[in-house]
Chains A and B, each alone.
Chain A
Amino acid sequence: MTDTFRDDASRLDVRYVAHLARLHLSDEEAAVFQPQLEQVLGYVRELGALDVEGVEPTAHAFPVQNVFRDDEVRPGLDHEAAMKNAPQERQGQFIVPKIIE
């Protein structure tokens, strides 16, 4: 675990990760974010000092499981209201750039 941590900062490539997040970065932003995020990761790496062997992870502070509701038809957001904020809309559908040639 400690070894993984030691290598991490050098491997954070903000451009690559930003691409995974579908986020274009300017050269200036990449140059500013790279050292800032390396510094934050350096700090976060302190977690590596703790022994967490056998500790269960917490995903939610108050664990609830299998929350079901009755399977009943209820009114939802109507079509017109759902389309109201669309950046581009035609015949009740969202317009996006062409995906398949």
Chain B
Amino acid sequence: MAGLSNLTLHETADRLARGECTSEDLVRDLVAAIEQRDGKVGAYVWVNVEDALARAREADAARLGGDRRPLLGIPLAVKDVLNVKDQPCACGSRILKGYVSPYDATAIARLREQGAVFLGRTNMDEFAMGSTTENSALGVTRNPWDLARVPGGSSGGSAAAVAAGEALAALGTDTGGSVRQPASFCGCVGLKPSYGRVSRFGLTAYASSLDQIGPMTRDVRDAAMLLQAMAGRDPRDSSSVEIPVPDYSASLRNDLNGMKLGLPREYFIAGTDPEVERAVRAAVEQCRALGAEFVEISLPHTPYAIATYYVVATAEASANLARFDGVRYGARVEGEDPIDMYGKTRAAGFGREVKRRIILGTYVLSSGYYDAYYLRAQKVRTLIRGDFEKAFAGCDAILTPVVPTPAYRIGEKADDPLQMYLGDIFTVTANLAGICGLSVPCGFAGAGLPVGLQILGPAFKEENILRVGYAYEQSTEWHLRKPNLES
């Protein structure tokens, strides 16, 4: 068998249904692709060969018995921050070395109910803190389009695995752009659902009011398929919302007639790479040709979004990461007393970016500074939400670049945290506002580096952004290009 590892999920499902391949063939092809390429790319931190093959054979047997579940026997890659029962979950950190998940995250359990097989775990910035995957304690991940460059982050391993043909699709998580940005850097599709659309139960928390799990796929139909399986209220996550989940595939059509799309002037600014801007502008024209009407809009508080994000996210992170103290799980460094043990364990277990964010978050929550930083940031967050509410009163979705530049060189920003943070300018706003966002390939910059188009939609209107993304994608061929990893 050859070539199965480059299929989309829906093509795979069709072939399985027609009996043209088996789930075991799929797993074998993917494992062969991983063995061939992952030495260069470094997308995975752990691959589940024997168990995945056993599950694939079970799925093949079930299919012969008439089982027609949509994801039956389909292998997926999972970011190392989501708990899959009996698999490691290190979150890119030394502090969770050797940890084995005792339960499934709800999103995982729902995919499992649909028949999915969990093939392996992908690399990430430690605890999802970063934009390059360089902050992983478990190894380097390279961009399949240019091995001297980063895949983006924090879900860099998931994006690289999909781009390199080492996974059919993968799960990522997005707190400030960590699904959309690596999707843009690696030329795949990345969806951040609205806050509350997908349960966060079993997602190791970074910033609880911003985190969402999202699919990273080869096309928009696949993203819709995975969202369909994961979305909906979960009693184990009180922030998941009781809003009916529509049939997302019904929103996929080939035109944009009647759609009104907004272009925010604050997202087309000096400092954006001219080739990125050109690609996004061309995508806008393509959407116009597909029947969309455009309106200029303003999101005036955009210049304050990065500052707001890095206060809110680090504050929540400092509280969430307090659980890593060497008592119940993970690594431990012995100390004279519990306080000493906590300090030494955390010193040895966490990397630099995590330490920086814990210190910053602790500071903005500390007595005397809470009002000046944290409370103020929460108020600015209200203003940013309000910007989007006003904008969406006059349009169905908003088009912007995902990132101001194509993928960074490895090491380029490693010692300059503020410069790194500023690269998140176009993505953090969706998390702060709780709205949904999609990254779709829209061209290439420089020597063949992918560029993404960001499509933002109102909260719980994923069907809007999927419709725009699908119609655009199907009228172009950017998503069909593959990196050359043979040389």
Cβ 8 A contact of B385, one of A14, A22, A61, A81: A61
Q: Please, how many angstroms separate the alpha-carbon atoms of A101 and B310 in the complex?
A: 42
Cβ–Cβ < 8 Å partners of A81 in chain B: 102-103
B379 A52 Cβ-Cβ under 8 A: yes
B376 A48 Cβ-Cβ under 8 A: yes
Q: Please, how many angstroms separate the alpha-carbon atoms of A48 and B380 in the complex?
A: 10
Cβ 8 A contact of A20, one of B335, B362, B375: B362
The size bracket of the interface on B is: 35 or more
Question: With A37-B360, A85-B328 given, is the CB distance from A61 to B336 under 8 Å?
Answer: no
| Nearest CB in chain B: distance from A98 CB, A | 7
A57 B307 Cβ-Cβ under 8 A: no
A47 B376 Cβ-Cβ under 8 A: yes
B346 A24 Cβ-Cβ under 8 A: yes
B355 A88 Cβ-Cβ under 8 A: no
| Nearest CB in chain A: distance from B405 CB, A | 19
User: Interface segment, B60-68, B114-122, B366-374?
Assistant: B366-374
Question: With A17-B359, A24-B347, A33-B355 given, is the CB distance from A58 to B382 under 8 Å?
Answer: yes
| Nearest CB in chain A: distance from B128 CB, A | 18
The size bracket of the interface on A is: 35 or more
B366 A97 Cβ-Cβ under 8 A: no
B381 A29 Cβ-Cβ under 8 A: no
Q: Please, how many angstroms separate the alpha-carbon atoms of A84 and B100 in the complex?
A: 8
Cβ-based interface call for A31 (8 A)? no
B209 A60 Cβ-Cβ under 8 A: yes
Question: With A29-B355, A46-B304 given, is the CB distance from A61 to B459 under 8 Å?
Answer: yes
| 6 A–B pairs (Cβ distance < 8 Å), ordered by A | A19-B343, A57-B379, A59-B378, A87-B331, A96-B338, A97-B334
A interface residues with partner B (beta carbon < 8 Å): 1, 4-5, 8, 12, 14, 17-26, 29, 32-33, 36-37, 39-41, 43-48, 50, 52, 55-62, 64, 67, 69, 77, 81-82, 84-88, 94, 96-99
With A37-B359, A46-B304, A85-B330 already in contact, 5 other A-B pairs whose C-beta atoms are closer than 8 Å: A23-B355, A25-B355, A62-B239, A97-B337, A97-B338
